[in-house]
Amino acid sequence: MKREEYTKCLRPYITGSMPMKERRLRFCIGAKLCSRKSKSEREAREICSRPKEPKTKGAKAGKQKSCEAEMLELVTCIMDKIDSKLASNINSLGRAIADAMIECRCQSED
């Protein structure tokens, strides 16, 4: 479903004035229906009425790293990439750093 279609589908659930609690519930119901995560309004209402599970900060794929450990890992990866790409041309350092950061951060997401 395209963004425009989703927005058009959601519009009836979020228009009009209503108390904030009801607005949140209606938005949730509309979002479940418009994203096709629920087959009926009754099912969507049931899902939206459940208590939300607390989100864990910084958790990625079930594991949590300290910022320091993450940055050390990133720096190590960057240095490996720079060593292999920089050769002797110091003017290309900025581009080498940018390329290395993209490779280090994005290669596992492909």
Q: In this structure, is residue 56 part of a structural domain?
A: no
Q: Determine the Cα–Cα distance for residues 16 and 11; give it in Å rounded to an integer.
A: 10
Q: Tens of pLDDT along 24-80? A: 999 999 999 999 999 999 999 999 988 877 766 655 554 556 777 777 777 777 777
If asked whether residues 13 and 43 sit together in one domain, one would say yes
Q: In this structure, is residue 59 part of a structural domain?
A: no
Residue 108 pLDDT grade (very low, low, confident, very high; cuts 50, 70, 90): low
CB 48 within 8 A of CB 25: yes
Q: In this structure, is residue 97 part of a structural domain?
A: yes
Q: 64's torsion region: left (phi>0), alpha (psi -120 to 50) or beta?
A: beta
Question: In the chain, how many domains are there?
Answer: 2
Instruction: Give me the pLDDT at residue 86, please.
Output: 59
Q: In this structure, is residue 54 part of a structural domain?
A: no
Residue 3 pLDDT grade (very low, low, confident, very high; cuts 50, 70, 90): confident
Cβ partners under 8 Å of residue 81, min gap 6: 96, 99, 100, 103, 104
CB 63 within 8 A of CB 81: no
If asked whether residues 76 and 42 sit together in one domain, one would say no
Q: How many CA atoms lie within 13 A of 92 on its CB side?
A: 12
Domain that holds residue 80: 64-109
Instruction: Give me the pLDDT at residue 33, please.
Output: 93
* pTM of the complete model beyond 0.85: no
